[in-house]
A and B are shown apart, each in its own frame.
Chain A
C-alpha cells in the first residue's frame, strides 16, 4: 500500500479519534469521577508527573457510582423514557406532515421543484434559537394563534398550549420538518413515472397504485427521515426548555441543569454517556438502512 492511500484512509480515522473518541474518553472519565468543590469540579485529576504510581492511584479512584445513582433516582429514567416518548411521537407527527409535502413537491412541475426545495430549506437561514423563540409569540395565551381563534369565535377561552408538551411537539415538528421532507422527496423524485402507469395499466386505481408502488419504494426515504428527526429530537434541549415549561421532562434539560445549575459535572457526564448509548441503537439501525439501500441500487 502506498503512502497516498494510507493517508487517505487514515485521515477520517484521525478526525474521528481527535474529535469523537478522545472527547468521549474525557467525558467517560469525568462520569467515573467524584464531585468535588474545586477547579475542575471533580476528583481525581490525572497528574502525569507522579509517573506510574500516580496513574495507578488515579485509576483506582475511578468508579461507577454515578451510574448507579442514575439508576436509583427515578428522575433520570423517567426523563429518558419521557424523551423517548416525545421523540417517537413527534417523529410520527413530522412524518404525517412531511410526507404529503414531499409527495406534493415530487408531483409538482419540474421547473417549480428547485423553488419548492428552496422554500423548505429557507428557515435554516434564520437562527434556530430565534425561530423557536418566536413560537412563544404564536402559542402563548395572548399569542397570535389564540387571538386569531378568539377573533373568529371558534373558542372563547385561550387554549393552553404554551408550557405544555403540545408546544414541544409543535416546536419539534416545525424545526425538524425539512429533515423529514428532503430524504422522502429525494426518494419520490427519482421514482420512475412509468412504474405508476404500469400499476394502473395492470388494474390499480390511483390510490392502490400509491400504496402498492409509490409508498413501498419511498420507504428508504421515510426511514432516513425518521432517524434524522428522532435522533436529534431525543437529546433536544432548546425546544423543551423554551416551549415546554416545567411540565416537560426531557433528558436534554436534565443534562443542562446538572451541568450548569448543580455544577455536578460527573453526574452530567454520566447522563450524557447513557444518552449516547441509547442513541447508538437507532444510529446503527440507520447506517444499516443506508447500507442496504446502497446495495439494492447496485
Chain B
C-alpha cells in the first residue's frame, strides 16, 4: 500500500496556487421565463475529468452547450483560460464536443470524419494524415478507416466520435451522454477506455450524464445538479460518503433516510429520536447540533450489518423481520420491516454460496451499524 503523503494526489481544487481552466461566475441562463441555469459559480481545473450529473431537465446539457458556444449566458461570465469566451463563436473556441447522437457525418468515411476538424484548422496539410493515424490508433479503429459510419457498430461509432473530437487536441473536451447508446457491458469497458484516453492525452474532460454510476467511475469530481443549481460539487467518494443534502444522498446510490429530532448532544455525538419505542440512533456530526433540531439521518444499506443474534459491540441495533430479499448475484439486499411498519434496507456481500445463507424470509433479525456509518443532514 502506498504511504499517504508520499504519493502526489490529483486535487488541484484544494490548491489555492492553481488557476482554474474554466470559471463560471454567477452564470444564469433563461429560456423565456424558464430558468435553465440559476446563478452558477464553478471552477474546473486543467486535466480534470469533471462530471455534470443530474436528472433530465436539470440544466446540465445547457451548461455544456454554453461551454461549446451554442448557447450564451443571460447573465454572468464564463472564462476559459482567463479569457471571457462569450463573444467567441463555436468554431473559434479551443473546445470540442462529442455529441450524444455522435453526429458523425454520414457521407464521409471514418478517416474523413476524423480529419474534418483538422482540415478546417491551420495544421499543415502534410501533417493531417499522421494525426488521423494517431487518433485511429488511440481508439483502435485502424481497420475501419475506409468505412462509412453506417457500416460500423454502435461502439465503433462512439470511438469515431471520440477520435474526431480529440483530433484537434482541444483544451477542453465536452462529452454529452457519451455512453448512453451503448449496452451495459460495452459501457463499462468504454468507461475505463475513456479514463485511459483522458490520462494519455491530458485533456480536460467535462462529461454530462444522468447515470450516477458512470459519473462515479470516470470523474475526478462530480457536480450534482437540480433545477439549474449546483447542489454539491465534490469527489465521487465524498459525494457518496458525505452528501451535503437529502437530495444528493437520495440521488446517488441506495440509501435509507430517517427523519427525527436531536434529543441529546455530547460534543460531536448526537442521539436522534426517530420513532416511538425504537432505540435512539447514535450519529456523529462535526460541531454537534442544538437539542431539538429537526434532522435527516441517511445511511447506506451496505453500511448496515444483518444478524440472527443481537450484536453487543455496535452503537446502533434495531430489531425487525425480513420482508423481502433481492438476490443480485454478488450482493443481496434485505428489506427488513421494523416495529411500526417502517422498512429498512441492508446490503450484504454474498461471500458464501446461496445454499448456505442463514437468513430467509420472515426471520427475526437485528440490524446494526456504528455511530459514524451514517450522515446527519439538516435539510
Contact = CB atoms under 8 A, between A and B. Distances in A.
Contacts of B70: 197
Interface string B154-171: 000000000011001000
A205 B99 contact: no
Contact of B91 (A194, A204, A217, A296): A204
Nearest to A194: B103
Contacts of A201: 68-69, 90-91, 95-97, 165
A47 interface: no
A111 interface: no
Given A192-B103, A204-B120, A296-B150, A198 B97 contact: yes
A202 B96 contact: yes
B121 A203 contact: yes
A78 interface: no
A213 interface: yes
B12 interface: no
B99 A194 contact: yes
B253 interface: no
A197 B99 contact: yes
A203 B120 contact: yes
A195 interface: yes
Given A205-B91, A216-B107, A217-B106, A199 B116 contact: yes
B144 interface: no
B113 to A, nearest CB: 9
A117 B244 CA distance: 54
B32 to A, nearest CB: 14
Interface in A183-239: 192, 194-195, 197-205, 208, 212-213, 216-217
B117 interface: yes
B101 interface: yes
B45 interface: no
Contacts of B96: 201-202
Interface in B60-109: 68-70, 89-91, 95-97, 99-101, 103, 105-107
B91 A200 contact: yes
Contact of B103 (A197, A204, A208, A212): A197
Contact of B168 (A203, A212, A216, A296): A203
A197 B70 CA distance: 8
Interface in A244-298: 296, 298
Given A197-B90, A198-B97, A198-B99, A203 B105 contact: no
A34 to B, nearest CB: 55
A195 B107 CA distance: 11
Contact of B90 (A200, A213, A296): A200
B355 to A, nearest CB: 50
A110 B100 CA distance: 22
Contacts of A204: 91, 120
Contacts of B103: 192, 194-195, 197-198
Nearest to A208: B120
Interface string A106-149: 00000000000000000000000000000000000000000000
A147 B100 CA distance: 57
Given A195-B105, A197-B90, A202 B116 contact: yes
A197 B97 CA distance: 9
A206 B70 CA distance: 13
Contacts of A208: 120
Given A194-B103, A202-B120, A202-B164, 14 more contacts: A192-B103, A194-B101, A195-B103, A197-B97, A198-B99, A198-B103, A199-B116, A201-B90, A201-B91, A201-B165, A202-B116, A204-B91, A296-B106, A298-B150
14 contacts: A192-B101, A194-B99, A197-B97, A198-B99, A198-B103, A200-B91, A202-B120, A202-B164, A202-B165, A203-B117, A205-B91, A208-B120, A213-B105, A217-B106
Interface of A: 192, 194-195, 197-205, 208, 212-213, 216-217, 296, 298
Interface of B: 68-70, 89-91, 95-97, 99-101, 103, 105-107, 116-117, 120-121, 150, 164-165, 168
